[in-house]
Chain A
Amino acid sequence: MSEPVISMRGVRAELGSRTVLRGIDLTVLRGEVVALLGANGSGKSTAVRTVIGQVPVAEGEIELFGTPRRRFRDWRRLGYVPQRTTAAGGVPATVTEVVTSGRLSRTRLGILRKADHAAIRRALDLVGMADRAKDSVNALSGGQHQRVLIARALASEPELLVMDEPMAGVDLASQEVLAQTLREQVAAGTTVLLVLHELGPLEPLIDRAVVLRDGCVTHDGPPPKAVGQHALPGHDHVHPHAAPGAEPLRTGLLS
């Protein structure tokens, strides 16, 4: 239970000429759920994108499953949910077609076998989109787009899920569905690293929160409690979907 799945040591990264990460240390152990928090521009997305090899590392080391990232080729073990507001491209595509892309890492030459079709269906079931499998992604709501993107990541049955703001622009009801999906994955032993703007319904799942500020880690430990105005008594977030009499919702805005 204690081997590191992700390990970053002294990682510096630049976007253009701007230094975005100034020496990040971050370890995610097998089975852990770690949230990366911080204000806009604090470097949390960049940190995640160095892990998956989409931003070059200027200095420092990154290991994935104990392999230096540069030599890591076993991408099927990793499921990635990019920061997107839409799963659609320039041509109509069904939910199944989009989710199938996530399974290609487990196929040879893109030929789908029985097990692959089953995995795709399972991924759709997990996010509660099985009944929309044949619909065009263009016809979906924002929350459903995120669920499709998560199903696409789950289709390869990954051991590690890396998600960049999976809750952005998702209403509370969809957030609950996504939290439930994630809970099942975590219960099955999946390791999760996710970028969040606020903890929201995911809070009970998070083992550890890492807070970034100006490209440096300023907190690494239990999820911080709501602070400032948000912690004041009587500061209830009012959401139109909340049933009357339900307990006030914890949104724990951190930035």
Chain B
Amino acid sequence: MEILDYAFMQRALLAAVLVGITAPAIGIYLVQRRQALMGDGIGHVAMTGVGLGFMLSWSPVWMATLVSVVGAVLMELIRWYGKTRGDIALAMLFYGGMAGGVMLINLAPGGTNANLMSFLFGSLSTVSQEDITAICVLAAFVIVMTLALRRQLFAVSQDEEFARVTGLPVRALNLLTAVTAAVTVTVAMRVVGLLLVSALMVVPVAAAQQLSRSFAATFAIAVAIGVSVTVGGTVTSYYEDVPPGATIVLLAIAAFMVLTALATPLARRRARALELAAGDPAECVLPEAGAKVADERVPASRGSTDGLGV
């Protein structure tokens, strides 16, 4: 394990594990509320933060956190108050954020677009000690939020109107989701890069869905897949000298494809078990051929009040 002898690789692996946990942990709620691409939008906005960080010589990670939190809150506000063309406003925000980042980095003293590349696509060797401190603090926030408030976030993401009628603070929870997603983007920025962050929020969840029936299992499997691909991608990029962000995302997509291929026979077996449990006849019985059989079986399993096989 000579890989662990280098301080930069220790930092990179720690960051990879934290990204592997946090990105799917918040991503599952975004997928559940069908806003899977929100992370992508926040990633664009975060670029302005990176640019500002360079310009003012502050930590780009903290600056990106600040700007992407502001951007995420703005997106939530547009969703509330936006009338017909909320999507246009969001497009302005996304691409304005990206263009702002490119412009600011070019204006920064000694800044070139080369600096930008490491933020866009991730770069393990440049994860500094200050970066790792920030990543740990931010990741702790994301993990605590997504676990402690899981039932509330589940309810709001599943059926927002119903959640409001149960008296949950829906606006506060929506803002919290947006802020947590923004924080996750900056946690993942150094490892997978801003342009690929969203993939790590969405793809492990999509892959986990192929196997699971419950939300809790989807959450656990998605985090397991997330950690596997981030660590796998980081180690691969060390030995093979390939970009870590791209490696991680391609590994995640490969995991999705493998699980999808495995899921079809699994789903078929489950469906068969369910049919047997419900007592449905294995095959259709034509009325002429077996009127008596059908008469006996159908009312038994489709009776109006027994609640079975409806």
Contacts and interface: CB of A to CB of B under 8 A. Distances in A.
Interface of A: 52-54, 73, 75-76, 78, 80, 82, 84, 87, 89-94, 97-98, 100-102, 104-105, 107, 110, 112, 127-129, 131, 134-136, 138-139, 141, 143-144, 152, 156, 171-174, 176-177, 180, 241, 243
B165 A91 contact: no
B32 A91 contact: yes
B165 A93 contact: no
B166 A93 contact: no
Given A92-B209, A143-B310, 10 more contacts: A53-B164, A53-B165, A54-B164, A76-B166, A92-B218, A101-B154, A110-B150, A136-B213, A173-B304, A180-B305
Contact of B302 (A84, A127, A135, A173): A173
Given A101-B159, A156-B166, A89 B32 contact: yes
Contact of A134 (B214, B218, B307, B310): B214
Contacts of B34: 89-90
Contact of A80 (B149, B165, B299): B165
A94 B213 CA distance: 6
B150 to A, nearest CB: 8
Contact of B214 (A92, A102, A171): A92
A50 B91 CA distance: 33
Contacts of A73: 167
Nearest to B167: A75
A101 B165 contact: no
B168 interface: yes
Contacts of A243: 299
15 contacts: A53-B164, A73-B167, A80-B165, A82-B161, A90-B32, A92-B209, A92-B212, A92-B217, A93-B214, A101-B158, A101-B166, A104-B151, A129-B307, A136-B214, A243-B299
Contacts of B167: 73, 75-76, 105
Contacts of B149: 110
Given A91-B31, A171-B310, A177-B307, A104 B209 contact: no
A121 B205 CA distance: 28
Query: Nearest 7 pairs between A and B by C-beta?
Result: A128-B307, A75-B167, A101-B155, A136-B213, A110-B151, A176-B304, A105-B166
Contact of A91 (B162, B168, B218): B218
A131 B277 CA distance: 10
Contact of B161 (A54, A144, A180): A54
Contacts of B304: 172-173, 176-177, 241
Contacts of B274: 135, 139
Contacts of B209: 91-92
Nearest to A78: B165
Contacts of A94: 213-215
Contact of B215 (A92, A174, A241): A92
A177 B162 contact: no
B310 A101 contact: no
Scoring A84, A87, A107, A136 by chain B CB atoms within 10 A of each residue's CB, the highest score goes to: A136
